[in-house]
A and B are shown apart, each in its own frame.
Chain A
């Protein structure tokens, strides 16, 4: 095991970084998409329930099947990996964003409108900041989940630690195969822990004292 790590450590570090970078970039993308979607739907109860159903049903799609389906039109490479990771990352954030935005007391919104804030300014300065801690919780859930999804996405020859897992599994019993799989799995777990700590720190920095629990 240590030999494998010693031999491959440059490759491991590079793949880890690629994995981490894929996940973080997809999370950013997913957060933007989810918040935009939530902002579009949260004031309409019908659209809100549709959004909630989509995020619930979407999570039941097996990621492996989804990426397989995407390879057919898009081919191998980074693009299908990004799409799959971003898709799964969006769902929990969307759900939390909708819950967070619609959970804001109507009297707060009314008072924002009453002192002359426009609809858009109210969303930007009042509703989103107040919903932010809940949205961020969604981001943390997403981060944990898509760390694993990103490993699966390596099936489409996307970047990341998934490559170690797949190459190890495909020649199970061969030299260093188990080490390869373990490296991939443990690497993903370690990255997930690191990212979660970073997100907790981000939450501390971006949540005003007034709404900290």
Chain B
């Protein structure tokens, strides 16, 4: 498990009561339905969903499943036909929509910056609407540009078209954060940038989130992005039917149904591997030999330990060869040549990278190196499988803390649905009566 996920998991025991440090607010969608005129089936059908404060919740699902509609109902860009929206304990369903939206950050693809305004004006627009004075706005703009890793002196007075796609996206995030809103809504925020920039922006968002602990709701079509960013992932089917609402680990380890399995696609186990790093799993020891040693001696040690291979290291303890018993048997003295195809992974690599390397190696294992490429141990397929099994076990234990999320009338075998059936059953009856 990565460090970031580990800290988040630790926090989640405090949920849902807002602990100190979290500046986000919880959101509750209560029996929300949206029917668009002229469409027989509702776009969102009786969705009840709790979004815990200070967490990143990812909405994923096939296109047209209502995930974006659901997102836009949180800030009422789309008004719900039925149901209530509660932010931080306050029912906001009937308050002035513009006032509500000024208190909720909103980021769209490519940032949605106003091309006729400078970066500073774009970022300062919400504080200006809220009546901040000029000096305070200017200070805030600089602070936010620093936060999103843009040099204020350099970028303050530029226009959006003078920025790269990634920079525009950063300014978009800065603008959304300008008035320090507790909630940030993001609609496919990283859809318009190249893959490398996207990874960097994702990492940056995680860093910002670590610092600010907002409640972030993010729509994406990229399941890998959801796994990477999300504390919780909500997988929607058509009509915003919530198929599964759970941690990335549990969704990967225990898909609720066939739809979720299909949506994850092949290699759910592989995706889970991106959650864990080599350093987090136990490494096996190996018999180590040095160049110039007699092969028979090394072979004797290998046989004694019951291993199949011996690792040859150089003077700086860097692995150079990996010899099987048979190879050792044929040799007289171990040579000092280096094998260029040696399967080596760094200790901070993800299990995914490690598995990639292993599959290439004939030994079904890889050598792990630490600082200055020194030999640390061996990671094999079994270790990786054990790690997957363990994280699945851990995920099962956590399921009690899952936030509520279900559609009325649909009581699937969800741990979250069982968490609070009395409350939600009432809403279900209401909504069905209306139907």
Residues of A contacting B101 in the complex (Cβ-Cβ under 8 angstroms)? 113-116
Complex interface: stretch among A84-92, A142-150, A188-196, A204-212: A204-212
A68 at the interface (CB under 8 A from B): no
The secondary-structure label for the interface of chain A is helix
A49 to B104 alpha-carbon distance, docked (Å) = 37
Contact in complex: A117, B98 (CB < 8 Å)? yes
Q: A113-B101, A114-B106 are in contact. Are A210 and B112 (CB under 8 A)?
A: no
| 16 chain-A/chain-B pairs, Cβ below 8 angstroms | A107-B110, A110-B77, A111-B108, A111-B113, A112-B114, A114-B112, A115-B106, A115-B176, A116-B99, A116-B129, A117-B98, A121-B129, A126-B114, A130-B114, A210-B159, A211-B116
Residues of B contacting A126 in the complex (Cβ-Cβ under 8 angstroms)? 114, 116
Contact in complex: B129, A209 (CB < 8 Å)? no
Residues of A contacting B75 in the complex (Cβ-Cβ under 8 angstroms)? 114
Contact in complex: A110, B108 (CB < 8 Å)? yes
Give the interface size class of chain B: 20 to 34
B102 at the interface (CB under 8 A from A): yes
The residue of chain A having its C-beta at the shortest distance from the C-beta of B130 within the complex is A116
**Chain A to chain B: the 3 pairs with minimum beta-carbon distance, closest first:** A111-B112, A210-B159, A116-B102
Contact in complex: A130, B116 (CB < 8 Å)? yes
A25 to B170 alpha-carbon distance, docked (Å) = 45
Residues of B contacting A129 in the complex (Cβ-Cβ under 8 angstroms)? 116
Smallest beta-carbon distance B310→chain A, Å: 61
Chain A residues 96-127 with CB under 8 Å of chain B are 107-108, 110-118, 121, 126
A211 to B159 alpha-carbon distance, docked (Å) = 9
Since A114-B112, A208-B116 are in contact, a sample of 16 more A-B pairs with Cβ atoms closer than 8 Å, ordered by chain A residue number, is: A107-B108, A107-B109, A111-B111, A111-B112, A111-B113, A111-B172, A113-B101, A115-B101, A115-B105, A116-B99, A116-B101, A116-B126, A117-B125, A126-B114, A130-B116, A211-B159
Residues of B contacting A116 in the complex (Cβ-Cβ under 8 angstroms)? 98-104, 126, 129
Q: Mark B159-171, 1 if CB is under 8 A from A, else 0.
A: 1111000000000
A118 to B129 alpha-carbon distance, docked (Å) = 10
Contact in complex: A211, B112 (CB < 8 Å)? no
A114 to B111 alpha-carbon distance, docked (Å) = 12
A108 to B103 alpha-carbon distance, docked (Å) = 19
Smallest beta-carbon distance A40→chain B, Å: 21
A111 to B189 alpha-carbon distance, docked (Å) = 12
Chain B residues 107-143 with CB under 8 Å of chain A are 108-118, 125-126, 129
Q: A114-B75, A114-B77, A117-B129 are in contact. Are A210 and B161 (CB under 8 A)?
A: yes
The residue of chain A having its C-beta at the shortest distance from the C-beta of B129 within the complex is A116
Contact in complex: A208, B117 (CB < 8 Å)? yes
B376 at the interface (CB under 8 A from A): no
Residues of A contacting B118 in the complex (Cβ-Cβ under 8 angstroms)? 210
Smallest beta-carbon distance A109→chain B, Å: 9
Contact in complex: B129, A108 (CB < 8 Å)? no
Contact in complex: B77, A113 (CB < 8 Å)? yes
B34 at the interface (CB under 8 A from A): no
Among candidates A108, A115, A121, residue contacting B175 with C-beta atoms closer than 8 Å? A115
Among candidates B104, B126, B159, residue contacting A208 with C-beta atoms closer than 8 Å? B159
The residue of chain A having its C-beta at the shortest distance from the C-beta of B157 within the complex is A209
Smallest beta-carbon distance B70→chain A, Å: 15
A129 to B126 alpha-carbon distance, docked (Å) = 18
A211 to B100 alpha-carbon distance, docked (Å) = 30
Contact in complex: B108, A114 (CB < 8 Å)? yes
Chain B residues 145-203 with CB under 8 Å of chain A are 159-162, 172, 175-176, 185
